[in-house]
Copies of this chain bind each other. A is one copy, B any other.
Amino acid sequence: MTDDSLWETPAVTILRSQPGFDLEGLDRNSTPGFTGKKADGERLLEERGAVLSGLQELLYANGRSGDSRSVLLVLQGMDTSGKGGMVRHVVGHVDPQGVDHASFGVPTDEEKQHHYLWRIKKQLPRGGYLGVFDRSHYEDVLVVRVHDLVPPNVWGARYDEINQFEKELVDAGTTIVKVAMFVSLDEQKKRLQERLDRPEKYWKYNPGDVTERKLWPAYQEAYQAMLDKTSTEHAPWYVVPCDRKWYSRIAVTELLIDAFESLDLSWPPADFDVEIEKARLAES
């Protein structure tokens, strides 16, 4: 839920992937549920970022007091969809000491020798932490599927396996917020162009990104299958149009706020006698 009237429908409701959702029909330049403009969005990002920060501190406090619950933000999207900016501008609002951040790129040689969930399990958030996955185990049904890195029966079995894995995580106390970020082919081109036009952005450019653009339809198909098969009751996908960065950022901020609020946290009670401690302190 959100307390701001510029959201006519809460992000958590309108962005949730529903059965039968057709990715092809998604307007990636749209701002679902939000009636405000960019300036409203930028203001809201600060306001709601502060709310998020307070909620994260509450979770951290509970974690320090033995609560093993956590929140895991999974960011999955094509190149230039804005995953890095999401970390910087949304996760950047909370205390870095409460964040467990992990990026999952091309697997290392060591990672390749293990089950694809091995590297994921090593990076799960600790109790009390906000985990952030920049890419995730879903790479193994996206890039792996598109590039035929394993046979279809192998990646085909992973959807159920992932659902089962996430169910165990949720049962163990992790609230998973899965965000599928969608940029349009045109907007992606603009963003790649910018990386080629500005020398301070060269480091973000990878020639492979252009190669991948030619596989766009296959990626869209793989994303559609991912949404169809792994948007579950326990860990639904949220489909976020990302051509407008300001929108995607306030949307994910709301999704996180909702996740934290669902934990119904309060400040942990003292595990000591307050009056006795006041007396001890006074004497010290």
User: A95-112: which have CB < 8 Å to B?
Assistant: 95-97, 99, 101, 103
Report if A52 contacts B (CB, 8 A): no
Q: Are B92 and A101 in contact (CB under 8 A)?
A: no
* Chain B residue at smallest Cβ distance from A207: B272
A residues 192-241 with Cβ under 8 Å of B?
Answer: 192-193, 196, 199-200, 202-205, 207, 210, 213-214
Would you call A284 an interface residue if the criterion is a C-beta within 8 Å of the partner chain's C-beta atoms? yes
Contacts of A272 in B (CB 8 A): 205, 207
The minimal Cβ–Cβ distance linking A190 to chain B, given in whole angstroms, is 10
| Known contacts A196-B278, A280-B207: A92-B84 contact under CB 8 Å | no
Count residues of chain A with CB under 8 A from any CB of chain B: 42
User: Contact check: which of B96, B213, B280 meets A91 at CB < 8 Å?
Assistant: B96
**Contact sample, A vs B, 29 pairs, CB 8 Å cutoff:** A61-B203, A84-B97, A87-B95, A87-B97, A88-B95, A88-B96, A91-B96, A92-B96, A96-B99, A96-B101, A97-B103, A189-B281, A189-B284, A193-B281, A196-B274, A196-B278, A196-B281, A199-B267, A200-B267, A202-B274, A205-B270, A205-B272, A205-B277, A207-B277, A210-B277, A210-B280, A210-B281, A210-B284, A214-B284
